[in-house]
Every structure is written in C-alpha cells, then in structure tokens.
Structure 1
C-alpha cells in the first residue's frame, strides 16, 4: 500500500509545527508519556503475576489490568478509548478472558512473552499465536498495551488511527481484524523507515499523525472538499476541544511547576538536599531557577539502571544533607495517573528497603477521594514499613508554604497535613 499523497514530508511538517497536535502535546511535549512506560510495564507484570497466582478475578474492574489501561488512557487523546475493548460485557461474554480460565491463562502467557521478548520476531510470533486463538472479543486492541512494551515495533490500534490510515493509504482496513492490523503495521514500518529523519524510531509519532488525520483535525489536500463538506462542524468542534484541552494542560503544567517550587522551598528550609526530576531542571518559578536550588544529579543510591532512570523522573526528592539517605519522595499529580505515581514510588521503596523514607502523592483537593481509593488498591499495598505512603493536598501545601518553611524542623511538619495510613 502506498500513501495517496505525494508530499508526505510536507504533511509531517504541518503535523509537527502545530503546537496543539498530539505530536507536541503528547509525543514530545507530554511529561506523563516519559513516566508511563516503566509504570505500564510494571502494571503488565502485576497482571501476569495475578493471572499466574489465580488472583486476577473475573471482571475488568478491580483487576490489575484495569490499572494498566487507566495509565494508558491518560496518555492524551490518542489512547482515550483504549480501555473500552477490555471492559467486561457480561451479556456478550466478551472479552472472554475473565470467566474462561483457559483464555485468561493464554492472555497471561501472551503478556509475559511480550514482556520478555527482545526481538521483533518474538513479538510478532506471540501476536500471531494470540490471533490464532480467536478469543472472543479480544482483538488487535491489545496492541495499545504492547506498544508501551515495544514502541519501535508495535504501533497502537484504534478507530481514529485506522480511519487515518485508510484515508492516507486509500485502504479499507477493519478495526477488529488481526489481518488488517498486521497489514497496517507493515505499511507503517515501511513509511516510518522512509521518513525516519522526520519522525522517530518510536512508532507513536506516525500513529499520532494517523490519529490526527482520522480525527479530521488534519485534512489531506485531495480529500479536503469532501471532508470539509461532510464533517466541517465536527472538525471545528474537535479543534475547539483540542484548543481548550491545550489551555487546560498549560494551566495544569503551571500549577505543577508551582507545587514543585513549593516542595523545593520547604525541603531546603528544613535543611535537606533537594533533587528535582531531571526533565524539570530547566524550569523556573517565581524568579527561582530549579537548577540553582537543587542537586545537579541523583545521589549514588544502589539502584538497578532501569529503576534509577525512573527515579530520576520522580517530581521531587528530599535527601539528608550531604548524604544519600532518602527522606521524602513526592509525585505531583494534577491530572495524570495516580496509579503510575504510586508504582514509581513503590518501585523506589522496594529498591531501598532499609531507608525509612516517606512517600507522598501531591494532588488537588478535588482528587482526594480518587487518590485514597488508589492508595487502598490491593495492587498498591505491600512493602510493609518500607513504603510509607501519604496524600498531600496541593492547594493547602501552596497556601501553607511560608509557615512550613518558617516553623518546620524536619519532615514531621508534613504529617498534620497529610492523609495517610502508615506514616509515622
């Protein structure tokens, strides 16, 4: 299949230059995307473990798979409906991986094999095996999970992406067809190879372009008249919604930065060394440069390389002065995944079990019930005394910043504000 337009580089340039495209708001501009990969991998591993142990359950809700899909669906518009194919529809008995133990175990084996695969052929073989099983209701939508395990090999698959592909390539692929998915993947790999210098090894960049075309946010020159005639009002609503979302994201990013600034100020006032997420060091707030107020690099904790890379993305860390004792870790979640934040901090806690550290989720008061509910999930429990987890309301924290800096002696100043179950 060959693209129906001859000037694909120009189309890619339009896509990349649009500040509100998913390329800029998600692929290269989404901080949450960077943090999601390891958290989703951990969630998939938990799903495999639960299926193996017989504790997965017989419904999507409450299962570790729900945690995985919740983290995926929060990856901006591209994955907005990624969880829908996995909802248990009892009247239709689909997808048949909840009540059917044979299918459930096959799904677990598939996820485990994809987790451990190191080569393209292994991933494709597993996807082909799953397709051959023809599990009722379980189709190529699983690609949206596997993408986060192998982003250079497996593109995501949803309605808008398929529509965009069909429009760009003049194809007639079907959403629920494995055959269609494999055909789309091959064409995407070939196109991505031809235009890799304009896109990325990560297939998410090209998938985002197809998503924009399929959502009628990007209209192809040869398709303009018919598209604008048929869906002009829809396209305008999509554009308006995207613009509003972009403004909302910008506001949340500002509040996120303000909250990080408050945590940096309080930590320094209490006499701690402070580390801020490596991708946030170039930020400023209130005239203060984060780089000037924080450690230039993460202290020498005995962490595996992959864990260390994740820890370096935790929003704010407090360390004992001049030492390597982790005092507190903070994840600021204005609207991003609560699950991912807890998983990152739990991963850190399990890697340094002998340090009596405190871990906090910092989120708006409006999210308190959601935060507490996620803290109490069975999948988020465990770790004993090494995982002291609490919730701090970000609005109150910002309001009380000066008082905490002035009257606080050590990390205990946070305890009266925190909602927690095992902080001491």
Structure 2
C-alpha cells in the first residue's frame, strides 16, 4: 500500500532523529562524567544532577579517580533545595548552598537531612576558579566522577535509586503489562479473525491494532528500563529511548488515522451525501496535510524530550514545545468539532448521529487528555505531578482505544452505518433491541 510505504519512511526518519537527539540523562541517579572548571565558571556552578529526597536516610555518594587534583583545585559539590538562583552573583550563588561537600577523598558520603516532605535537591560543582575570572584556569585534566543518590527503601536502608517523583512507576508498568497480557489472551483470536475477514473499516482496525501494539512495546521497554534502574540507578538508556520512540510512533499513527478519517469524512460528505461515514481520503492534498501534521507533532515531541534532558536549573512551567503541542491538539479538536457539527446538523438517522458522537468522544479523549492533565496536575504536590500526567495519559488513551474498538467492531452500530455486519466481532456494544439476534 502506498500510504503504508510513506508512513514507513516517516517512522524510519523519526527513529534516526531519536537516535541523534538522545542525550545522557542528566536526571539519572547514578551519574558519571567529568567535573570541568571551565563549565563551572561559565554556568556559575556546573550542573550535575537533580534528585528528590524523601523521609530519612537520604544519601549522596561521590567517587573520584583523582582526588589529589580535586584537593588542589579546592573542588566542592554544592547542594541546593528548590530556590531561584538566576539573579544572584557568582559568590552569592555559591554561598547560598544548603550543603557544601569538600571533595578531598576518593569516596565522600553525605547524609541528607530528614525531609518532612519530598524535596528536590540540585547538585552543582564548583572550585577555586569558578568565581575568580581574573585567574587563568590551568590546563589540568578534567576530574572523572561518579555520583550516586539514594532514598531509603522499605526496610529503611538508603538503597532506593528512585526519587520521589518516580516511585511507583515500576509497579504501574508491571500492572499495565499484566492487563495487556490478559486482554490479549481474551481478544487476540476474535480480533485476528475480524482483521482476516476485512470490511469497510479494515484499514482503521489495522491502524488501531498497530497503535495498541506500539503502546504495549513502549510499556515493555519502560518496564525493562525501570527494572534495571532500580538496581543500579542507570537502567538501560537504549530501552528508555525505544520507549519514547514507540510512544511517538503510536501518537503519530493515531494522529494520521484520525486526520485522514476526518478530512475524508468532510470531503466525502461534500461530494457524495449519504455515502458511508469516515471515508479514508487518499488524495495528495489530504495525505500531505496529514503527514505534515504528524511530522509537526514529532518535531515538537523531540524538542520537548531534548529540552528536558538539557538539565536547566530550577526550570518551572510548561516548556515552549509543550505549549505548541497543546495548541496543535486544540486545533485538531476544533477541526473535529467543526466536522461533527456539519455532519450531525444534516444527519437524520439517530443511529448514525450516535456513531458520530461516540467517535468524537474517543478522539476528544485522546487529544485532550494530555493538556487537561497537565493543567490539573498543578493541584497535586510537586513530586506527584509527573506521575499523574504519565499514568493519566496512558489510562485515558487506553480508554479512548477501547471506545474506538467498540465503535468500529460493534455490529449493532454498523448494521445501518456500514456493511460490516457479518463478522464475528469482539468487544461488542450491542443495543438491547439487537441482543436477541446475536
């Protein structure tokens, strides 16, 4: 299929972009790198990592390969809680550190004070050259380091690599994968039979199934990454990047399908009133518009992911790509609402209107869950916001997928809306007046 080949090229390009833009996670709980005097001077303290400690027995461990050089440079590791340092001078910024750790040993252990509630701590590196711009930085080699940060585990020992905003995600992905497995065991066979028999919505069913498979792959990659992460604080960055890639592919596939259906829907209604709803439009103009929207969303998602990994200190509020993504999704919702109004205002069949409304609800839930959850997450504590958005989006999009599956596989709705009425279908949503016939 031509469209399939085109989309394959798009996904291949996205894969290359993800590999190119993948960066070392600055928020990792086992961080390796180099302390650099030049970077510390330019940034008024070289940003190392961030960790959200909670409860008692928080621990930071710093290991150096050349502690003698660190002693000569008067190297320090500075820890800050959430606060605004942008308007402070270099000396004021260094003096505001809640904890200053002198790096004069091969391994330095620092216990974090008791936290009454989860608090984010930021680690910066500084030395004798950071604020003394008149001094020339000697051509010393950079200092290789390893920084580990721990929270207390269930037994009270500082062995937990997950910070407060990540705690519980590992268990969530395990439950999600278990739910996918159970649903697959129940519905895989009847869905496979439905796909083999075809029908007017065969392409839609294939795309929905592919999107669900992509989401399952993303959840599996996240689970594998977090399982390893819980042991060493590093995880498998490649699996994390693959999880983002699968999620991006699922978002793009869903967007392409819904735009193709909506654009074709409006064109079909204008050219052939009374024809089957949700026609898959294959014209060059509509295909170009759909692919353009998918690529725009992909670029914004990559930009958002890349900006999060740059380690900007004390960044607050929504980022520019996140705001643009919200605007894009709002525009798509307005497009869909406009098409819905045009169709339902002239539609006489109550069954078809019900079909259109169910389709629109599923689309609205898919597109609006991200911005709505991002806005409402402000009602929760800071360490809960990311988890609320991540878990909420997955659950809402899963509900959207189930709604669309029920819609396109329901024999009662398609009895009049389409010719898909002779297939043995799962996830039926039959009306009471038709139950006796099935």
Shorter-chain TM-score range? under 0.3
Question: Larger relative CO (CA 8 A, sep 6+): 1 or 2?
Answer: 2
* TM-score, normalised with respect to structure 2: 0.22
